């Protein structure tokens, strides 16, 4: 499957952003370009919003179970 065409769940987005935030915190780079600052703002706002949704409490297993349960319904994008 084409990785660029895949849909992400809120849980996956939350995981990716929290991992990226942790990596940036550990690297400790202080000087950033304006494009990087814009990306940081987008990440912050997205994490702020998505942290208020139930995906914060989900796990990979619950997402997998949901996808398996919904497979029989043959939903499309």
pLDDT digits (tens, 9 = 90+) for 17-44: 999 989 888 887 666 788 888 888 999 9
**Neighbour tally for 14: CB within 10 Å:** 19
* 38 domain residue, yes or no: yes
* 51 domain residue, yes or no: yes
Tell me if 13 sits within 8 A of 46, measured CB to CB.
yes
Confidence of residue 3 (pLDDT cuts 50, 70, 90): low
pLDDT at position 30 is 63
Q: What is the pTM of this model?
A: 0.74
pLDDT digits (tens, 9 = 90+) for 45-72: 999 999 999 999 999 999 999 989 999 9
* 65 domain residue, yes or no: yes
Domain count, the chain: 1
Of the candidates 61, 63, 74, the one whose C-alpha atom is nearest the C-alpha of residue 10 is 63
- Structure tokens given for 65: 């179970």
What span, in angstroms and rounded, lies between the C-alpha atoms of 31 and 27? 12
Rounded to 10°, the helix 10-27/60-71 angle is 150
* 14 domain residue, yes or no: yes
């Amino acid at each position: 499957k084409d990785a660029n065409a895949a849909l992400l769940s809120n849980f996956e987005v939350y995981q990716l952003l929290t991992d990226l935030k942790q990596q940036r915190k550990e690297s400790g780079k202080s000087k950033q370009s304006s494009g990087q600052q814009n990306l940081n703002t987008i990440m912050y706002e997205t994490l702020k919003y998505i942290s208020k949704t139930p995906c914060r409490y989900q796990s990979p297993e619950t997402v997998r179970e949901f996808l398996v349960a919904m497979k029989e319904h043959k939903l499309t994008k």
